[in-house]
Chain A
Amino acid sequence: MLSTTLNPKLVNPTEEHEMLRQTVREFTRKEIEPQAEEYDRKGILNTELLRKVGDLGLIGITIPEEFGGAGMDSTAAVIAHEEMCFSDPGFTLAYLAHALLFVNNLFYAANDDQRKRYIPKTITGEWIGAMGMTEPSAGTDVLGMGTVAVKRGDNYILNGRKIFITNAPEANVFLVYAKVDGRITSFIVESTFKGFSVSEKIQKMGMRASTMAELILEDVEVPAENLVGREGGGITNMMRNLEIERLGLAAMSLGMANRCLDVMLRYSNERQAFGKPIAEFGQVQSHIGESFAKIEAMRGLIYGAASTIGPDHRNRPASDAAKLFAGRAAKEVADSAMQVLGGYGYCNEYRVEQFLRDAKLIEIGGGTNEAHQKNITRDLCKLVQV
């Protein structure tokens, strides 16, 4: 992999970050890369690998040390996603859904009893977690969700549906958003709770090494002690977590783009046409030059944003901008890689076609481009309104 030409302190602010990157890179090379193509082809999640990722400590990357985590920051989470995505975007997405959408989300919203009950099992990868927000008829318009929770005795009774839920087929536990008296509230729902079920796997274009399904909530009985935070506190929980989620997804785009540039660079130096390497042709140079510029721009934006975001530090416009820009840029870089490789790119061998399929997801999942544009405009407008 090419290293950045930017100030190395931007991407590895401390010695710990540098060691983390080295460890994850080595782990990716030895453990993730060899299995990636097979799991993409089969369309299944490698749960054993997720446990190895847990052994390494990556699932609890942002969780404080006293709760069994590594106690690292958003930049560290970005490093982990970037490095793993160089080899396996689908698996990294499953990791993100578990480590950020569930573990990080729950930890910072939960009370100590809930942490004790759910963090130790999920931080190791023994239990897989997922998060349920999007519904069949409410995506970007999240406040329009229809899932409801009604208090009955010591339980809340949940009804509704959640769609496109990454890890749902394998997950043991879910963080589910539902409305109590019209106010969005978070609940911890175990897959064995009465009334809870999961649909068949939903087939998809890319990110096939992670799985998704629909959650079906039919009079699900959730004990009141599994309400996270307070009634109506769901939005705060959701918003707090969305920023690190977007950084993770943006970092995944960066990892995918790194891979695609790496492949096209090697290929264009070896592949000859008209008696010389195709890297000497202006048309190919246009793809390489533009891709490199996009990658360094992504990197600057993502790491610049990451250093401003933490459980107590919010920066919505920067996280939206990072994902909006990186998602599109990575898709373009993957497309360039395919164009440079021509027929070899369209076929499976170099895995460029997989990265193009995978890269598209970031323009949709975890917030569509349109949602980011809406958020950014709203946040910026507030700055100029009198």
Chain B
Amino acid sequence: MKILVPVKRVPDPELKANIKDGKLDLSGAQWVVNTFDEYAVEAALRLTENADEGSRDGEVVVVTIGPDDAAVQLRSCLAMGADRAIHVASEDANLDSLLVAKTLKAVYDEEKPDMVLLGKQAVDGDTNQVGQMLAALLNLPQATFAASIELADDGKACVVSREVDAGVEFKKLPLPAVVTVDLRIVSPTSITNGITPESHEYADGPRYASLKGIMKAKKKPMDNKTMADLGVSGSPVVKELEVTLPEARAAGQIVESVEELVKKLSEEAKAL
């Protein structure tokens, strides 16, 4: 089983966003792996290991498209346990979702993985497009917002559960396929791969890069490529015009009674 995990670096979502002259000021940003992509790395590792024996059974290749120092985030994924990395050089400003998807398609064509596993969206732009576009470009089946993944015994299909408004939807996909993950994918028993005993319970959340993992990461292979190497060209079709903060929320009101609440909802908020 070979899994390709595209990851994006994002400014640390725990820190305050600064806006300068209508653009995000990223000069002092601390970069981290996009939360949902980190979940995808965790899910990919779980799919390709025997957790009880601590052995690997498959390959996880992480890929990012970004400037030179985005290599740090790839190393973090290698430190978590991914086997190798591909770094496609590009400046963030020269990219949009479609160009990213086209680049990933080119990487897919070279790597021929059994699955592309990625976050449902990046927590900076929140566009939630790359997985879907990639599946369309590759003409592969897709399942988005995966909450669990169960690999079929023959390794030729998987069943993905997705939390939808009406309940939980299960999709069976022939492989190869594109799967985007939601936060529940890192629950203790969300991944079934037929190798790790089903009784195994993972700790909730993505694994930490252990110190041994960190020291090993430097020795793992990282391929450097350009978009030209991959035969991808073009400029973004989506342009960022201006970034503004949402309007500050007006102060709340404390009401004395249910009657007053209903009255305000109906007359002031016109919500009823």
Q: Which A residues are closer than 8 A to B by beta carbons? A: 3, 15-16, 18-20, 22-23, 26-27, 30, 55-58, 60-61, 65, 70-72
Contact = CB atoms under 8 A, between A and B. Distances in A.
Contact of A15 (B30, B32, B75, B205): B75
A61 B76 contact: no
A71 B30 CA distance: 26
B205 A72 contact: no
A22 B211 contact: no
Interface residues of B, number: 18
- B32, B76, B209, B214: residue with the most chain A Cβ atoms closer than 10 Å: B214
Interface string B216-259: 01100000000000000000000000000000000000000000
Contacts of B211: 20, 23, 56-58, 60-61, 70, 72
A100 to B, nearest CB: 15
Nearest to B30: A3
Interface string B195-225: 0000000000100111111110110000000
Contacts of B75: 15, 19
6 contacts: A3-B28, A22-B32, A23-B211, A55-B210, A65-B212, A70-B215
B72 interface: yes
A49 to B, nearest CB: 13
Contacts of B76: 19, 22
Given A27-B208, A70-B214, 8 more contacts: A16-B214, A16-B217, A19-B76, A19-B209, A19-B217, A22-B32, A65-B212, A65-B215
Contacts of A27: 208
Contacts of A15: 72, 75, 218
B79 interface: yes
Interface string B70-88: 0010011001000000000
Interface of chain B: mostly helix, strand, loop or mixed: helix
Nearest to A26: B208
A60 B72 CA distance: 24
Contact of B215 (A18, A22, A56, A72): A72
Contacts of A23: 79, 208-211, 214
A88 to B, nearest CB: 17
Contacts of A22: 32, 76, 209
A19 B32 CA distance: 10
A19 B30 CA distance: 12
Contacts of B28: 3
Nearest to A65: B215
A18 B210 contact: no
B79 A19 contact: yes
B97 to A, nearest CB: 27
Q: Most chain-A CB neighbours within 10 Å: which of B32, B76, B205? A: B76
B218 A56 contact: no
Given A16-B218, A22-B32, A71-B215, A57 B210 contact: yes
Given A16-B218, A22-B76, A57 B212 contact: yes
B212 to A, nearest CB: 5
B72 A56 contact: no
B224 to A, nearest CB: 15
Output the residue of A20, A22, A56, A61 with the most chain B CB within 10 A: A22
A312 B76 CA distance: 30
A20 B218 CA distance: 13
A323 B217 CA distance: 33
Contact of B205 (A18, A30, A58, A60): A30
For the complex of A and B, list the 8 residue pairs with the smallest distance between their C-beta atoms, beginning with the closest: A57-B211, A70-B211, A57-B210, A23-B209, A19-B214, A57-B212, A23-B208, A16-B214
